A and B are shown apart, each in its own frame.
Chain A
Amino acid sequence: MSRPVYIVDGARTPFIKARGAPGPFTPVDLAVQCGRPLLLRQGFPADAFDLVILGCVNVIAEETNPARVAALRLGMGEAMVAFTVQINCGSGMQAIDTAFHYIAQGRAELILAGGAEALSHAPLVLSDDAARWLARMGQARSPVERLKVAADFRPANFKPVIGLERGLTDPIVDLNMGQTAELVAHQFGVTRHAADVYAAESQRRLARAQAEGHFEGELEPAFTRAGAVLDHDDGVRPDTTPDRLAKLPAAFERPWGKVTAGNSSQITDGASWVILASEAAVQEHGLTPRAVIVDSAWAALDPRIMGLAPTLAASALLKRRGLGLGDVELWEINEAFAAQVLACLAAWRDADYCRRVLDLDGAAGEIDPERLNVDGGAIGLGHPVGASGNRIVLHLVNALRRLGLKRGLATECIGGGQAGAMLLEAV
């Protein structure tokens, strides 16, 4: 097919927990905050790129096509073509995948591919009744007409719908994301306790990664207009223990559900960028590749069990490459929910599932927990929907190099019943 495609560098903002009020940055602000230092440390000018692709789900009205707005604000020049992609939670990975294909096919040499999400800015949505009332008021031409419309005012119609709630609910099967995790947990007998143990361990790994500087060079501090410097992922709770987590109520299906706020990913703002280059671009600009993208795969299944989709995408990818689970040295599986990650691991251990759903000869095998999400994941870091897919690829590259390993796979479940998977090799 195609030419090799390298990842040469990348950077992300700290992931900041959404805390009720809109956060200090819009999606494009976030993209600019980590894009500036990333571009500053390259030896080539910002206009050397051929294309900018950005994943973003909650685009705000003032930033239509955030990829282009970000490219212009980053000083990449009026001639920089830029577009935004959206495949729900997979958007940040889709940006990399599209870039990968463009470069592999020779349509571009150097692409900036990222993901950005500011869930704290997710809009409040007016009900249709309220929107119709406002339209009538806007069209009223005289004081008398306006009075007539005013008489129809019903305060209850103006209660805003939380856009975020609607966004995290699947419209086809009318289940929210947490409920899909309950389904797959039930399917594979994942217990509440197991989920809590996993979540506590994830927080511990994140805290350790922060303490040991594992995000050096990956995480670039962000600077707010209010004079704050945000220099670490602030969703981390180092003091988390399974006992503490056990006390939390079920979040989505009370009172017996297994999925809680403590063993789910957090609602968060964040952005991430990755620089992809062809061989020619590497030569021309004297770049040092960190990894090569070997292959990618996308898969879809019933939205009710979207949490299992990573098994589909990853196994298809590995099969195509003639590889097994055990051939992957390092894994990133996005932690949408602890129970969902554990369900995937259980599914791969289940011979029946592997034969019937994944078209394998038997159970795919075990993934060594020491090789999975080694520096924590979305449970501590948060899951800014459009950015996560990008972050896990970026971090996989950095972790492979740090640990001296070669082959890694990043995969994530996607709301709506899909998954993306990407296979990388460190160079």
Chain B
Amino acid sequence: MSGEIIEALERMELGPDAGAAGGPWRHWRLSRDEEGLAWLVADCADAVVNTLSGAVLEELDQALARIEQDAPKGVVLRSAKPAGFFAGADVSEFVGRRDAGEVEARLRRAHAVVDRLERLAAPTVAVIHGHALGGGLELALACRYRIAVGDAELGFPEIRLGLHPGLGGVARTLARVEPLQAMELMLKGKSARARKAKALGLVDAVTEERHVRAAVSAAVAGGLRASKADLKTRIQERVLSAAPARRLAADRMRAAADKQAPHEHYPAPYALIDLWEKHGDDLAALRRAEPASFARLLVTDTAQNLIGVFLLHEKLKRLTRTEGAARPVRRLHVVGAGTMGGDIAAWAAWRGLRTTLADPEPRAIAAAVKRAAELYPKLGRDMAKTRDALDRLIPDLKGLGAGQADLVIEAVPEKLDLKRRIYAEIEPRLRPHAVLATNTSSIPLEDLRAGLQRPDRLVGVHFFNPVSRMELVELVGDGGADGEALAVARGFLGVIGRLPAPVTSAPGFLVNRALTPYMLEALLLMQEGHAKETIDAAAERFGMPMGPVALADQVGLDVCIAVADSLRERLDRPLLEVPESARARVRAGALGRKSGRGLYVWKDGEPVKAKDFPAPPPEMVDRLILPMIDACLECLRKGVAPDEDVVDAAMVFGAGFAPFRGGPLRYARAAGPEQLRARLEALAEREGERFRPDPGWACLG
């Protein structure tokens, strides 16, 4: 009942034409209020968020022409989309661009429109709610004032697409924000929330929706104090206006960037640093240099692949939109408070779901609560949010929540009898519409369904470790799963911010199937006498964020061995045997990162690596990476994954496959499938049948 009042309170101030249809444009509306202010409202047609496509910029140009004619007292630029201001450029327009000259020309035309906004005689005020990212932020920066509303989020994510801001954002940010902070904002690609944005100088005021009208009037009247840089900042700016000082700072930035994003694979940070080093004292020149630098980056393989990965991310996200076809999950029940079950429950509670966590052992639940209490403050520094999330994470020693839940996730140890017993106990208590899901990684769904009264209500939701960071979840269904149950699961994954990769029930599904030969080969290489740092380096140089040895420790040697054993049992092709030394480690309790030692010793969540180690021999990377790609093609051929996009997405988001390569199949296409296949044949001859290429290579043509 308070809902209506709250809704009314949150309605956005959009000027006199709020929501009115009609008018000459599809993506913009222009109206004038009784004070003489022009309200330029962005409301991109057929979209949930505003993006800066060519069409949107074209219409903006026309709107600006009108404003120049009308000469209003001031101009308010704002978005009608509840989600935010602008999410950035229309990334789909970047796909497939290979002609830098053409890109630069288009970009200069876009600059002309944005410059026209900046040159308007009337004072311009951008009102930013929600997200203002990339090109959207660049548009706001071309206004004279920026007002952030509520918990707005501003940032430049271009670096994550292998680009840097190209619509004047580099120059305009440096004009307002202290150089080192400006560079950090653009190099890290992380957003700044409203208060931080104000401290940086990105916005001039932070207020609530209910004060937007007054704030806009104050800005137009000249009453907003532009943020003044403090003494230390001004000194710094003076110093850095000299080229030698900038060179020093730039070298330091390059060194820092190299640690996260090696130069040979990620050119964007270095291009941005170069821009600043060269033009930091002449922002007009810097602005003129932006399009060329941007265009050079856009046509690189890295940028095209990272854009591809971004679009894969969007594609999987769209799978979670069930359009009302599935009943939303409000209450979740998790059975099993181990590492996975406890963390799945903790994540769901954080995302707002009332979650009951059942386990016969109270100490397991207590440990899960502890992990949650340590995780939540890292996700949001708000004590009330942490408290509320912990209140939603409900210990349930008697498993009563199963009878109240919309979705039950079973995450108990990988024993068929145990799972069957639990299903038999739970199923009679389930609400008629409730869906049952299993986090199993190695037990076939068909075996789990036998014995259920309604086998169609069981699906697989295979999470990855750690749950709070790994976005991907393999959504396992096949002929046996009810479309409705899968839809409920997809909707649930959307609510908790996870990406579903639809796969069918096959040994190892997709990700474990592909990672296992990668990790087993690494163990063999260790047995052959290679240093683990060497082996990991070979994979890291290829672009894997984590080498196979560290990955095995991260996942847990016990889990890896269980998956490997189960794959060997069920697959009809040769797979390496798990070395006895690895089994011995598990027996001794050295399970990996979670035990503090496994193959590596782990300290503070990082593996302790030797400083000096031999360089990897050239053939090593093929032995590690090619079998991974081969496994992916096998899965594609067998229909475990429906298409190449799902394979690439799952491997990038679930296995951390080198993102700048776009995914294993995209990489294979680019590297030449015939070539790679031939290398596998050669390895099969030299090293063993396990390298024999799968018929699935034919899928790549």
Contact = CB atoms under 8 A, between A and B. Distances in A.
Interface of A: 32, 36-37, 40-41, 73-75, 78-79, 221, 223-229, 231
Interface string B351-388: 00010100000110111011101000000000000011
Nearest to A75: B354
B369 A223 contact: yes
A225 B400 contact: no
Q: Max chain A CB contacts within 10 Å: which of B1, B373, B387, B395?
A: B395
Interface in B387-425: 387-388, 390-391, 394-398, 400-401, 404
Contact of A229 (B363, B371, B401): B363
A231 to B, nearest CB: 6
B388 to A, nearest CB: 8
B2 interface: yes
Contacts of B400: 40-41
A384 B497 CA distance: 43
Contacts of B363: 229
Contacts of B370: 225-227
A223 B365 contact: yes
A73 B398 contact: no
A223 B356 CA distance: 13
7 contacts: A40-B356, A40-B401, A221-B362, A227-B369, A227-B370, A229-B365, A231-B362
Contacts of A73: 387-388, 391
Interface string B522-563: 000000000000000000000000000000000000000000
A41 B369 contact: no
A227 B398 contact: no
A229 B370 CA distance: 10
Contacts of B396: 37, 40
A228 B398 CA distance: 18
Contacts of A41: 398, 400
Nearest to B398: A41
B366 A228 contact: yes
Given A221-B362, A228-B366, A79 B390 contact: no
Nearest to A226: B370
A37 B391 CA distance: 12
B373 A225 contact: yes
A359 B676 CA distance: 103
A36 B394 contact: yes
A41 B400 CA distance: 7
A221 B356 contact: no
A229 B394 contact: no
Determine the main DSSP class of A at the interface with B: loop
A32 B366 contact: no
Contacts of B398: 41
A103 B86 CA distance: 56
B431 to A, nearest CB: 13
Contact of A223 (B354, B395, B401): B395
B2 A78 contact: yes
B369 A225 contact: yes
A79 B391 contact: no
A79 B366 CA distance: 32
B343 to A, nearest CB: 14
B390 A225 contact: yes
B5 to A, nearest CB: 11
A223 B366 contact: yes
Contacts of A79: 1
B367 A227 contact: yes
A197 B248 CA distance: 81
Interface residues of B, number: 25
Contacts of B354: 75
A228 B356 CA distance: 18
A78 to B, nearest CB: 6
Contacts of A227: 366-367, 369-371, 373
A78 B4 CA distance: 14
Given A36-B395, A75-B354, 4 more contacts: A36-B391, A73-B391, A221-B395, A231-B362
B297 to A, nearest CB: 46
Contacts of B387: 73
Nearest to B372: A225
A180 B484 CA distance: 69
A32 B388 CA distance: 11
B23 to A, nearest CB: 40
Contacts of A78: 2
Contacts of B362: 221, 223, 229, 231
Contacts of B367: 227
A32 B369 contact: no
Contacts of B388: 73
Contacts of A231: 362
A223 B2 CA distance: 33
Nearest to A225: B373
Nearest to B386: A225
Nearest to B363: A229
Given A75-B354, A229-B362, A231-B362, A40 B394 contact: yes
Contacts of B365: 223, 229
A79 B356 CA distance: 24
Q: Max chain B CB contacts within 10 Å: which of A32, A37, A227?
A: A227
Contacts of A221: 362, 395, 397
Contacts of B371: 227
B353 to A, nearest CB: 12
Contacts of B1: 79
A358 B360 CA distance: 53
- Identify the 10 closest CB pairs spanning chains A and B, nearest first: A227-B370, A225-B373, A229-B366, A229-B362, A223-B369, A227-B366, A73-B391, A223-B395, A223-B366, A40-B400
Contacts of B391: 32, 36, 73-75
A32 B656 CA distance: 40
Nearest to A39: B394
B172 to A, nearest CB: 40
A37 B394 CA distance: 8
A225 B367 CA distance: 9
Interface string B583-613: 0000000000000000000000000000000
A132 B98 CA distance: 74
Contacts of B394: 36-37, 40
A74 B391 CA distance: 8
A225 B376 CA distance: 11
Nearest to B362: A229
A64 to B, nearest CB: 15
Contact of B366 (A37, A74, A75, A224): A224
Contacts of B356: 40
Contacts of B366: 223-224, 227-229
Nearest to A36: B394
B399 to A, nearest CB: 10
B443 to A, nearest CB: 30
A79 B391 CA distance: 19
A221 B390 CA distance: 16
Contacts of A224: 366, 369
Contacts of A225: 369-370, 373, 390
Q: Max chain A CB contacts within 10 Å: which of B354, B366, B397?
A: B366
Contacts of B369: 223-225, 227
A287 B293 CA distance: 73
Contacts of B397: 37, 221
B9 to A, nearest CB: 15
A74 B388 CA distance: 10
Nearest to A78: B2
A416 B1 CA distance: 44
Interface string B667-695: 00000000000000000000000000000
Nearest to B369: A223
A49 B396 CA distance: 22
